[in-house]
């Protein structure tokens, strides 16, 4: 009896081991998924605020929050057209408001029992991203198992879980963006296509079965192919630009059908999969159609046309193969014929469908090939190509797993040469992986796609190593007991090679560390105060002035644009800023920005911000309000556009400028309209590329073209000297310091014109070789650094490496301060008029000045607004001022509750030459109040000026026109004004010390 018991127990043990061997991967995958979710949610509390306001980790995340809220209000519909951005036309939001948002809202509906609260919707939105990231492990495992068995699949999901790069940082809590949805549905589409191809190779569907309607023989391949097409359609539903995968599949089918024909295998099998799957995708994307467009970022003609083109191409290639056989042509010429026909197809497309051709070729070069980036694409951080892709960037993203993936790809290619089975799905993985590598070398963001190929193809690497060394790690306890020492070493080396670079202590940053360090997006948190002020202290769009049309602009409403553009009701207005901040203005301030991170209207925003006069800036804004294209138009042309248009009262009323726009982002702003940044920072009298003497830096902050740009005059001069702009709010939470400097070669006394990065790189290289040489004045663009954020000591610390060269000097020539964000309102301005009696002041050389002290209501000191004009020959004068001396109008009147107040009345003085003395001085003075109504309606105010005792003007005294501080007193702290300036001297009283270098001898 004991023997029977032992046999039963042995049988039970065997059964348990067999069950474990068949199903052990499920708990392993479950643990990996839990780890992926935990690592991404460690900082959940950072995104839950006390007051319940959202705190998200990216600018695009804020707009997804907008589309998620809209979808919850209009469930199950998504936003078809957005009128709360892209003023004055609105825009199709395209890749926002898709299946990605619907899935999140659906989950919130389930959790909230059909009526989720705002808190529930927000919590679900935060957690949905890590959940989607964890779900990616499932298709990755099954794709890996198809290539390398169960062990290969497990290796794939572990690589996926430990990769600390773009996929991880874009799928942490707070990253409310569609990127993780893209990765999930791409993985599903690829593994579905792999399965469909394998079924087709086994079932062998051919044309005759279709003609005979043998559905029993076609059922399995048709079902799998249909599901693959549906998965591809869902991927496109998540992200319209996912049409890129249609192109990748198209290349695969072209390659595989040629290979099959060359090998003597009927192309019908794979062509069947292509025709059915891409046919289903055509149907799905046709249902999603929203607008007549060939663009990739909205549901238009491109998606169904491109899918149909690939489906028809598969059928055609299979038909051509049969014709080739019937005519007895050499098989080896078939691929050449296909290549020629593809080229001919693109030629016909170029002639007949230029829009489709431009879209396909343009996106291929910009997104898929590392040599076609547009200059404006390079202003987007995530769209820039990575530096040192194969050596540094790939290692930081994937560790050595990237290189073992390359070995895995080589092993796949080698399979037929080693007499091993080669399946169509292997070709698919090869083509897909190569495209993902190319895409990542083109734009750094696509590393979140490449992680799929890295994870999946490493299953091939591990499986082949296991096969080569006969490592049966799934053979049970008895097999494990027989494993040899060298096999243990090989297993250890595989684990070490794949995972050690992704874990401490070798990893520079692990997923655990990065997950613990995420927080809300810095720009969003800084802009929150200003945008909330905008929402509370400006009239609702539609209610500006006397209009009462706010009820026609429901924030969650549905709108149907006429002729592609929305016709806004009277009283609607826009907000001008750089495109980076458009989504924040929409979501935090519930106001309508002109430009946005779709890069809509980026060019016209650039044209305005870099305009060199108030006159041109005003013409650009007026022309924008008409819907006209303002790019590269002269002032006369802009005047004609405005004069000939049927312009309504909708205008851009507010301008918001932050510290980054006037500093580090200015270079990106100039790329859209030109000339580039170097033109604006080159002092007057010099050309780009000229050798610039140090002495020219003395007034570089005021005589370089940059000083005349609209954004500089508004931000640094607080609109002093401008007629139609008044400061209405400053961000009180942050005060920023700006340092302007140059690198000087003291041997020649010239500003160094060699690229600073090149200088530092060479110095680092020379440090180990002995003496470091001073750079020469070479023909590089002048390296004058205008308005770099940070005080002079911080700048010096950043470039302390330069102090190793005695001949090299950091030349500070200007330091300024400003609030993080300044908001301006456009007004008509009140016109001050008057007359002087003295005839000697009527010859045009007398100047009238109106000035008033303005209190911004922040940590920064009050400033003086000034406006000047010339006394005319008849003794009259007039000048326009934008600041009111009362605050009698507010939001309830259709205007602004300004947080900025004037301190008293305007002082008006007339300065001219004395008739008997060789001197200039004040000869008339007066004061006047300027009512708010006069400023907003453009009224005229008569000013009585009275003759005063002649007061000679000291030409050396300059008037303070902004919140600028003495350059010699900064500490480098980006804190309050007191911490930055020390004695708060104004920029107008600059001394030689203020522009002296920090180190070495004075420059002047």
Tracing tokens 């911080």 back to the chain, one arrives at: 794
For residue 798, pLDDT over 80 is answered with no
- Rounded Cα gap, residues 805 and 766, in angstroms: 12
Dig out the tokens for 2 from the structure: 């004991």
Q: What is the pLDDT of residues 804-837, one digit of tens each?
A: 666 777 888 888 889 999 999 999 999 999 999 8
For residue 404, pLDDT over 70 is answered with yes
Contact partners, residue 357, CB within 8 Å, separation at least 6: 346, 349, 350
* Least confident piece of the model among 16-25, 381-390, 551-560: 16-25
For residue 217, pLDDT over 70 is answered with yes
- Rounded Cα gap, residues 350 and 925, in angstroms: 71
**What would the mean pLDDT of 2-20 be, rounded to a whole number?**
58
**What would the mean pLDDT of 490-517 be, rounded to a whole number?**
79
Provide the residue count of the chain: 1004
DSSP alpha helix (H) spans, 204-242? 207-211, 215-238
Give the CA dihedral 935, 936, 937, 938, nearest 10 degrees: 40
Q: What is the pLDDT of residues 883-917, one digit of tens each?
A: 999 988 999 999 999 999 999 999 999 998 887 78
Give the CA dihedral 314, 320, 322, 326, nearest 10 degrees: 180
Tracing tokens 């005021």 back to the chain, one arrives at: 702
C-alpha distance from residue 470 to each of 25, 148, 342, 467, 738 (Å) = 21, 14, 45, 5, 65
Contact partners, residue 102, CB within 8 Å, separation at least 6: 71, 76, 78
For residue 229, pLDDT over 90 is answered with yes
* Least confident piece of the model among 114-123, 420-429, 784-793, 801-810: 801-810
Q: What is the pLDDT of residues 127-157, one digit of tens each?
A: 999 999 999 999 999 999 999 999 999 999 9
Q: What percent of the chain has pLDDT over 90?
A: 55
Beta-carbon count within 10 A of 53 CB? 10
Sign of CA dihedral 673, 678, 681, 682: negative
For residue 992, pLDDT over 50 is answered with no
For residue 381, pLDDT over 80 is answered with no
pLDDT of res. 1003: 28
Q: What is the pLDDT of residues 170-199, one digit of tens each?
A: 999 999 999 999 999 999 999 999 999 999
pLDDT of res. 293: 78
C-alpha distance from residue 91 to each of 327, 400, 543, 560, 661 (Å) = 54, 44, 22, 11, 24
Task: Report whether 817 contacts 863 (CB < 8 A).
Answer: no
**What single-letter DSSP state applies at residue 593?**
B
Contact partners, residue 66, CB within 8 Å, separation at least 6: 84, 96, 583, 586, 587
Q: What percent of the chain has pLDDT over 70?
A: 84
Q: What is the pLDDT of residues 950-989, one digit of tens each?
A: 878 776 544 444 444 333 333 333 333 333 333 333 333 2
- Rounded Cα gap, residues 172 and 47, in angstroms: 11
For residue 595, pLDDT over 60 is answered with yes
**What would the mean pLDDT of 52-71 be, rounded to a whole number?**
92
**What would the mean pLDDT of 525-549 be, rounded to a whole number?**
94
**What would the mean pLDDT of 385-397 be, rounded to a whole number?**
85
pLDDT of res. 103: 97
Q: How much is the CA Rg of the chain, to the nearest whole Å?
A: 34
Q: How is the beta sheet containing 830-835 ordered, strand by strand?
A: 876-881, 830-835, 940-942
Q: What is the pLDDT of residues 739-762, one digit of tens each?
A: 888 877 777 777 765 555 555 565
**What would the mean pLDDT of 514-533 be, rounded to a whole number?**
90
For residue 775, pLDDT over 60 is answered with no
Q: What is the pLDDT of residues 271-321, one digit of tens each?
A: 999 999 999 999 999 998 887 777 777 888 889 999 999 999 999 999 999
Strands, E, within 494-634: which ranges?
573-576
Categorize the per-residue pLDDT at 19 as very low, low, confident or very high, splitting at 50, 70 and 90: confident
- Rounded Cα gap, residues 936 and 951, in angstroms: 35
Dig out the tokens for 677 from the structure: 């940044």
pLDDT of res. 809: 77
For residue 774, pLDDT over 60 is answered with no
Task: Report whether 366 contacts 375 (CB < 8 A).
Answer: no
For residue 541, pLDDT over 60 is answered with yes
């Amino acid at each position: 009896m004991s023997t029977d018991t032992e046999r039963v127990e042995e049988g039970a043990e065997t059964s348990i081991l067999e069950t474990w061997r068949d199903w052990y991967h499920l708990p392993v995958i479950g643990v990996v998924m839990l780890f992926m979710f935990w690592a991404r949610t460690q900082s959940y509390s950072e995104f839950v605020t006390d007051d319940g306001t959202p705190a998200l980790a990216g600018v695009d995340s804020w707009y997804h929050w907008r589309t998620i809220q809209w979808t919850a209000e209009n469930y199950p519909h998504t936003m078809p057209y957005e009128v709360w951005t892209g003023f004055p036309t609105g825009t199709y939001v395209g890749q926002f408001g898709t299946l990605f948002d619907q899935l999140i809202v659906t989950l919130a509906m389930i959790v909230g029992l059909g009526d989720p609260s705002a808190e529930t919707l927000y919590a679900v939105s935060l957690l949905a991203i890590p959940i989607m990231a964890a779900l990616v492990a499932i298709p990755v495992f099954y794709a890996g198992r198809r290539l390398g068995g169960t062990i290969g699949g497990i290796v794939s999901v572990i690589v996926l879980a430990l990769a600390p790069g773009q996929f991880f940082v874009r799928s942490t809590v707070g990253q409310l963006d569609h990127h993780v949805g893209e990765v999930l549905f791409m993985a599903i589409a690829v593994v579905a296509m792999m399965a469909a191809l394998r079924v087709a190779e086994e079932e062998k569907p051919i044309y005759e079965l279709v003609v005979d309607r043998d559905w029993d023989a076609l059922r399995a391949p048709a079902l799998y192919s249909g599901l693959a097409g549906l998965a591809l359609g869902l991927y496109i539903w998540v992200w319209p630009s996912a049409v890129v995968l249609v192109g990748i599949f198209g290349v695969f089918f072209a390659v595989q059908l040629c290979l099959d024909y060359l090998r003597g295998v009927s192309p019908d099998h794979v062509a069947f999969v292509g025709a059915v799957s891409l046919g289903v995708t055509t149907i799905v994307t046709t249902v999603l159609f929203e607008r007549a467009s060939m663009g990739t970022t909205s549901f238009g003609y491109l998606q169904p046309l491109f899918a149909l083109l690939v489906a028809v191409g598969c059928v055609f290639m299979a038909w051509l193969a049969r014709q080739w056989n019937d005519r007895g042509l050499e098989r080896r010429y078939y691929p050449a014929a296909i290549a020629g026909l593809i080229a001919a197809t693109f030629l016909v497309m170029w002639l007949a469908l230029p829009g489709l051709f431009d879209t396909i070729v343009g996106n291929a070069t910009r997104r898929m090939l590392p040599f076609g980036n547009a200059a404006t694409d390079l202003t987007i951080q995530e769209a820039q190509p990575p530096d040192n892709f194969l050596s540094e960037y790939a290692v930081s993203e994937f560790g050595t797993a990237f290189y073992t993936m390359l070995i895995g790809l080589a092993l796949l290619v080698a399979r037929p040469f080693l007499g091993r089975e080669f399946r169509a799905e292997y070709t698919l993985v090869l083509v897909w992986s190569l495209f993902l590598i190319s895409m990542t070398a083109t734009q750094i963001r696509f590393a979140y796609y490449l992680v799929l190929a890295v994870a999946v193809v490493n299953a091939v690497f591990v499986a082949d190593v296991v096969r080569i060394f006969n490592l049966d790690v799934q053979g049970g306890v008895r097999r494990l007991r027989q494993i040899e020492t060298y096999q243990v070493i090989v297993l250890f080396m595989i684990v070490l090679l794949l995972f050690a670079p992704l874990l401490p202590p070798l990893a520079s940053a692990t997923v655990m560390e990065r997950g613990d360090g995420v927080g809300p997006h810095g720009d969003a948190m800084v802009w929150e105060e200003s945008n909330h002020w905008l929402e509370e202290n400006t009239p609702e769009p539609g209610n500006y002035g006397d209009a009462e049309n706010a009820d026609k602009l429901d924030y969650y409403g549905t709108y149907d644009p006429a002729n592609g553009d929305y016709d806004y009701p009277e009283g609607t207005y826009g907000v001008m800023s750089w495109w980076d901040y458009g989504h924040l203005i929409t979501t935090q301030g519930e106001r309508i920005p002109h430009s946005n991170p779709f890069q809509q209207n980026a060019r016209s925003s650039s044209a305005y911000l870099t305009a060199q006069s108030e006159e041109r800036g005003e013409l650009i804004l007026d022309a924008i309000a008409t819907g006209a294209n303002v790019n590269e138009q002269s002032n006369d042309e802009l005047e004609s556009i405005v004069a000939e248009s049927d312009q309504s009262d909708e205008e851009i009323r507010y301008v918001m400028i932050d510290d980054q726009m006037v500093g580090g982002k200015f270079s990106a702003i100039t790329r859209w309209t030109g000339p580039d940044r170097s033109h604006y920072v080159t002092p007057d009298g010099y050309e780009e590329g000229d050798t610039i003497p140090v002495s020219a830096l003395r007034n570089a902050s005021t005589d370089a073209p940059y000083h005349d740009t609209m954004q500089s005059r508004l931000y640094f001069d607080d609109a002093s000297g401008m007629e139609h702009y008044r400061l209405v709010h400053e961000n009180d939470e942050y005060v920023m310091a700006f340092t302007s400097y140059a690198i000087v070669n003291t041997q020649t006394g010239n500003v160094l014109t060699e690229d600073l990065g090149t200088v530092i790189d060479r110095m680092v290289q020379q440090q180990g070789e002995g003496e470091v040489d001073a750079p020469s004045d070479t023909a590089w663009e002048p390296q004058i650094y205008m308005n770099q954020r940070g005080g002079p000591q911080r700048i010096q610390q950043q470039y302390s490496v330069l102090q190793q060269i005695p001949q090299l000097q950091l030349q500070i020539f200007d330091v300024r301060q400003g609030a993080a964000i300044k908001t301006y309102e456009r007004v008509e301005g009140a016109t001050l008029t008057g007359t002087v009696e003295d005839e000697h002041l009527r010859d045009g050389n007398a100047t009238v000045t109106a000035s008033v002290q303005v209190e911004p209501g922040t940590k920064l000191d009050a400033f003086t607004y000034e406006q000047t004009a010339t006394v005319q020959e008849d003794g009259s004068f007039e000048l326009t001022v934008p600041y009111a001396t009362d605050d009698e109008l507010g939001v309830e009147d259709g205007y602004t509750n300004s947080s900025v107040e004037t301190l008293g009345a305007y002082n008006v003085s007339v300065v001219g030459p004395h008739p008997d003395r060789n001197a200039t001085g004040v000869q008339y003075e007066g004061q006047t109040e300027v009512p708010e109504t006069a400023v907003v309606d453009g009224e005229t105010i008569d000013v009585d000026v009275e003759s005063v005792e002649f007061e000679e003007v000291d030409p050396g005294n300059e008037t303070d026109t902004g919140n600028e501080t003495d350059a010699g007193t900064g500490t480098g702290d980006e804190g309050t004004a007191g911490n930055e300036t020390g004695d708060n001297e104004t920029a107008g009283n600059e001394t030689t010390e203020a522009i002296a270098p920090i180190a070495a001898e004075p420059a002047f």
